[in-house]
Structure 1
């Protein structure tokens, strides 16, 4: 497992556990977060506000299926399960600030509500 893959798994765990400290320490000041069809967030303060709003969504489990990294970009996909029985599939596309001590500069999150599915 690459260092970037380990970081992304930890970053996603921080989202699931509402560890805003870890998340905020690992993003740039000019972070942008695009969730097409839902919202667009620009800047660290706006990102922190969006995280605070999401804190009460009742996530119970995040399952990561794949992490793909290449240079300054990466993708993570999986599912999120909620206390109310609802679930979403997601794919997050990341752009990092650079190669040495990179921070997350951009996130594009594609989210689709799903019913129980079998593989």
Structure 2
């Protein structure tokens, strides 16, 4: 767990042997820190991002525009990364975000990398987001 700029970030420590696990975790932390450069350095120019039932973003230019909008609009109080699962070129992540307005959002993101190599970039993202639509005052993370 770490705290950055009044944002609490919770995640399980791993053995440190999996570079992809660390990259995915750092990708989320970069979002909370509004580090757009880190995020853009790790996506392909022709990145596809599907926010299921909301939007389909194609290409780095549109991706940059949308991720900046999210960074401006989402005020995160707590980020809890529950699981990161990796299988070859594909990674899946799920967790919960609590906003400063005390609303919870659960998420599951599926990442497809350009290849299985150590320096592969993110080629496609499928994001599933669920707004709990309720105020949360006491959240138990486990």
Q: TM-score category by the smaller chain?
A: over 0.9
Q: RMSD of the TM alignment (CA)? A: 1.4
Residue ranges of structure 2 left out of the alignment (5+ in a row) = 1-14
Larger Rg, first or second structure (1 or 2): 2
TM-score w.r.t. the length of structure 1 is 0.93
Q: Is structure 2 residue 103 aligned with structure 1 residue 107? A: no
**Count of paired positions:** 119
- In the alignment, the residues of structure 1 paired with residue 58 and residue 124 of structure 2 have an alpha-carbon distance, to the nearest angstrom, of 9
* Structure 2 counterpart of 1:93: 110
Q: Is structure 2 residue 85 aligned with structure 1 residue 61? A: no
CA displacement at 1:17 relative to structure 2: 1.6
* Structure 2 counterpart of 1:9: 25
Task: Give a deviation string over 1:52-100, Cα, whole Å, max 9, x none.
Answer: 1112221222110000000000100000111111110000000001122
Report if aligned partners of 1:87, 1:113 keep a CA contact under 8 Å in 2. yes
- 1:21 is matched with which residue: 15, 20, 37? 37
Superposed structure 1 runs of 4+ greater than 3 Å apart: 115-119
Aligned positions of 1:16-55 closer than 5 A: 16-55=32-71
Q: Is structure 2 residue 91 aligned with structure 1 residue 74? A: yes
Residue ranges of structure 1 left out of the alignment (5+ in a row) = none
Residue 24 of structure 2 aligns to a residue whose secondary structure is helix
